[in-house]
């Protein structure tokens, strides 16, 4: 049977259709029902989920040369601290892979100048080979590597004693200045500000006076990271703080469930919550106040 929709449309229906359509057009001015944008400082960003439903992504680090994100995660069902794994995600091609062969893989540090990607697990430090996509053993067999950091030298923090080590002349030694207390996170900014955090709080180390200065003893730090313009960010259980070159420490994001933060080659924010890795893209439009997500 030949079915013609036009034979069912009466003039009154056309009028109603017109009203519907014009309402749809004018509703542009009305706030969206669920606005998925996020505000940082004065700017709004669209969320683009790069990887969803993954267990607690931590230690986000972008290798700028290939725009690849390296990070650790645990299997969603277990959430066990010993069951960490490492993976990478190419932000341009969206190609991804878990990195095999590193037991308890949980830490990442990148020498951007030399394209060296260091990965740490419960049995030493490895170097990621971009061509073979395999991790080759590097150093410190038998050491449990809690955290890695690279600036001119490679640093690592051992677990469970939380001691800072530096690679010098091909060998690792503990950093004397920090021998008497625990370090969970260590970071040196491009302006040579030395940050460290432990279970007690966040500190800056004054290299001339050789003393630790309290920055904040209320927060628990999850990551310290620098963007491509030299501003330092502190991810904590109280939100994300920026330590700008001029303004000092300032909360820029009041979300308490951010676990990791990195910046891609174009300086876009890449962050993780309990289950997702999200890229933020600058948006010229924002959200109506009452529709803001958190
Ligand atoms: C953390 O570092 C501060 C500053 O050096 C120190 O006073 C404190 O004892 C450390 N906390 C732990 C648990 O080691």
pLDDT of residue 24: 46
Which of 198, 201, 215 should be mutated for ligand 1, with most atoms under 8 A from CB? 198
- Over residues 229-266, the pLDDT tens digits come to 999 999 999 999 999 776 778 999 999 999 999 999 99
Label residue 19 by pLDDT band (50, 70, 90): very low
Residue 68 lies inside a defined structural domain of this protein: yes
Per-residue model confidence (pLDDT) at position 44: 95
Q: How far apart are CA 253 and CA 122, in angstroms?
A: 33
Lookup: tokens for 178: 């920090």
CA of 121 to the centre of ligand 1 (A): 24
Q: In which domain, by residue range, is 81 found?
A: 34-291
Asked if pLDDT for residue 290 goes beyond 50, the answer is yes
Ligand 1 atom, smallest distance to 199 CA: 13
What does the mean pLDDT of the chain come to?
A: 88
**Tens digits of residue pLDDT in 160-213:** 999 999 999 999 999 999 999 999 999 999 999 999 999 999 999 998 999 999
**Cα distances (Å, whole numbers) of residue 239 to 41, 132, 220, 236:** 13, 38, 10, 5
Q: How is residue 32 annotated by DSSP?
A: P
Q: Is the pLDDT higher at 9 or at 34?
A: 34
Of the candidates 249, 53, 211, 61, the residue with the CA atom closest to the CA atom of residue 147: 61
Residue 25 phi, psi (nearest 5)? -70, -45
Overall average pLDDT of the 107-118 stretch: 98
7 lies in a domain? no
Position in ligand 1 atom list of the atom nearest CA 201: 1
Q: Which atom of ligand 1 is nearest to the CA of 196?
A: 2
Report d(CA 263, CA 159) in Å as an integer: 27
Which of the pair, 130 or 67, is modelled with greater confidence?
67
In angstroms, the CA 153 to CA 115 distance is 14
Q: What per-residue confidence (pLDDT) applies to 3?
A: 45
- Point out the ligand 1 atom lying closest to the alpha carbon of residue 203: 4
Please give the tally of structural domains in the chain: 1
Per-residue pLDDT tens over the stretch 204-222: 999 899 999 999 999 999 9
- Cα–Cα distances (Å) from 128 to 47, 49, 102, 140, 206, in that order, read 29, 25, 11, 16, 34
CA–centroid distance, residue 180 to ligand 1 (Å): 8
52 located within any domain: yes
Considering the domain boundaries, does residue 111 fall inside one? Answer: yes
- Asked if residue 173 is part of any domain, the answer here is yes
CA dihedral 155, 159, 160, 161 (to 10 degrees): -20
Q: Which of 60, 124, 31 is nearest to 276 (CA)?
A: 60
Check pocket membership of 199 for ligand 1, CB cut-off 6 A.
yes
Query: Between 29 and 283, whose confidence is greater?
Result: 283
Q: How far apart are CA 101 and CA 285, in angstroms?
A: 45
User: What is the model's pTM?
Assistant: 0.85
Res 35: pLDDT: 86
Residues in the chain: 294
Query: Taking 80 as the threshold, does the pLDDT of residue 286 lie above it?
Result: yes
Is 198 near ligand 1, meaning CB less than 6 Å away? Answer: yes
Q: What's residue 79's pLDDT?
A: 52
- What is the reported pLDDT for 36? 86
Beta strands across the sheet bearing 96-99: 55-63, 68-74, 84-90, 96-99
| CATH number for the domain that contains residue 132 | 2.130.10.10
Q: Does 6 map to a domain? A: no
In a domain, 178, yes or no: yes
- Percent of the chain with pLDDT strictly greater than 70: 83
User: Residue 65 falls within a domain, yes or no?
Assistant: yes
Separation of alpha carbons 285 and 241, rounded Å: 24
Backbone angles phi, psi at 17, to 5 degrees: -60, -40
């Amino acid at each position: 049977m030949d079915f013609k929709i036009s034979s069912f449309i009466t003039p009154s229906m056309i009028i109603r259709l017109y009203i519907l359509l014009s309402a749809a057009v004018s509703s542009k001015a009305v706030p969206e029902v669920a606005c998925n944008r996020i505000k940082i400082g004065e700017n709004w960003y669209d969320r683009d989920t790069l990887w969803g439903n993954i267990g607690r992504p931590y230690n986000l680090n972008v290798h700028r040369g290939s725009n690849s994100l390296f990070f650790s995660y645990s299997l969603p069902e277990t959430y066990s601290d010993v069951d960490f794994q490492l993976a990478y995600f190419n932000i341009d091609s969206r190609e991804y892979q878990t990195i095999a062969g590193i037991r308890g893989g949980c830490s990442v540090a990148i020498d951007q100048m030399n394209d060296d990607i260091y990965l740490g697990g419960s049995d030493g430090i490895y170097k990621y080979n971009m061509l073979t996509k395999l991790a080759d053993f590097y150093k410190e067999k038998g050491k449990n590597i809690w955290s890695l950091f690279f600036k001119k030298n490679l640093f690592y923090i051992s677990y469970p004693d939380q001691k800072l080590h530096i690679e010098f002349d091909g060998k690792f030694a503990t950093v004397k200045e920090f021998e008497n207390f625990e370090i969970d996170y260590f970071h040196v900014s491009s302006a040579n500000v030395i940050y460290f955090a432990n279970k007690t709080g966040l500190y800056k180390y004054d290299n001339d006076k050789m003393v630790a200065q309290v920055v904040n003893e209320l927060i628990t730090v999850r990551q310290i990271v620098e963007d491509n313009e030299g501003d330092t960010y502190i991810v904590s259980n109280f939100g994300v703080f920026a330590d700008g070159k001029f303004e000092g420490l300032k909360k820029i994001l009041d979300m308490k469930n951010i676990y990791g933060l990195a910046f891609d080659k174009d300086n876009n924010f890449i962050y993780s919550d309990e289950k997702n890795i999200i890229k933020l893209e600058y948006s010229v439009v924002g959200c109506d106040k009452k529709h803001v997500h958190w």
